[in-house]
A and B are shown apart, each in its own frame.
Chain A
């Protein structure tokens, strides 16, 4: 049963990701990518990482993808204005990505020595446990993430506001 859910979600995510790459209209690309993200959120639920699934939907589908869609609508980009690469270039890109896929899968085959988990703990993905780990072992990265946000805010304002009041 779980295996079938996994396979369904995997097929959906791969197909929507391919549609995202191949659709002409950038707005359709964004919508297909949102579907991919929902399928990945389903995988997180299957992995017992419930909080991760919720945060993934809130942050990716709810904020980042909306920002992308917003910018696309603001610039009024449609399939007519979409620049296209030449067919030659597209074939070369497909060959390059395909050989990367072949190399990676070839390297991965039989490389994983990880058997089934020694002692499974279904409470790993709960918010409570994550908070404990985050605020004991990862306090310094947490503060650095705050500083990264400060830098991103300053950068976005400096780049985005043309007529700054200095």
Chain B
């Protein structure tokens, strides 16, 4: 496609971004503003806020995240195969079957090792 063929997409994203920027700029201008230390606190009454907003995430999610990345990369190979599904015939099918077989083997290993068991 010619680069000029991307004009609708560029226009659409410009409109979307522009709307967000416009709202973000206009709203504080229209509304009344009263700033003080008390107003800027998270809770006006009750417990006082302390510490950083970045909470440490539990390590239990680590295996899930790592395995998600590994399985996510499959999309590189499956999408071209899905587009060419008919022309490939059985040759392509067996190639992909072998690939998926290797992946399922890995998945079975991961399950047997208990990487997804939550309370351990």
Contact = CB atoms under 8 A, between A and B. Distances in A.
Interface of A: 1-2, 5, 27, 45-46, 48, 50-51, 55, 58-59, 62-64, 66-67, 70-71, 73-76, 78, 122, 127-128, 130-132, 134-135, 139, 142-143, 145-147, 149-150, 152-154, 156-157, 160-161, 163-165
25 contacts: A55-B76, A58-B75, A59-B73, A64-B69, A71-B62, A74-B57, A76-B54, A128-B83, A131-B88, A132-B84, A134-B77, A134-B81, A135-B84, A135-B88, A139-B95, A145-B99, A146-B98, A150-B103, A153-B106, A153-B107, A154-B106, A157-B110, A164-B114, A165-B112, A165-B113
Interface in B30-79: 52, 54-59, 61-63, 65-70, 72-73, 75-77, 79
Contacts of A50: 1
Contacts of A161: 63, 113-115
Given A46-B3, A63-B72, A143 B106 contact: no
Q: Which A-B residue pairs are the 10 nearest by beta carbons?
A: A131-B80, A146-B102, A131-B84, A153-B106, A76-B56, A146-B99, A63-B72, A150-B106, A74-B57, A165-B114
Contacts of B112: 165
A164 B80 contact: no
A46 B67 CA distance: 32
Contacts of A122: 1
B23 to A, nearest CB: 23
A146 B102 CA distance: 6
B6 interface: yes
What is the predominant secondary structure among interface residues of chain B facing chain A? helix
B105 interface: yes
Given A46-B3, A131-B83, A153 B56 contact: no
Nearest to B100: A146
Interface in B78-104: 79-81, 83-84, 87-88, 91-92, 95, 98-99, 102-103
Given A146-B103, A150-B106, 20 more contacts: A51-B80, A59-B73, A62-B72, A63-B68, A67-B66, A70-B62, A71-B65, A74-B57, A128-B83, A128-B84, A131-B79, A131-B88, A135-B80, A135-B84, A135-B92, A147-B102, A149-B73, A156-B70, A160-B115, A163-B120
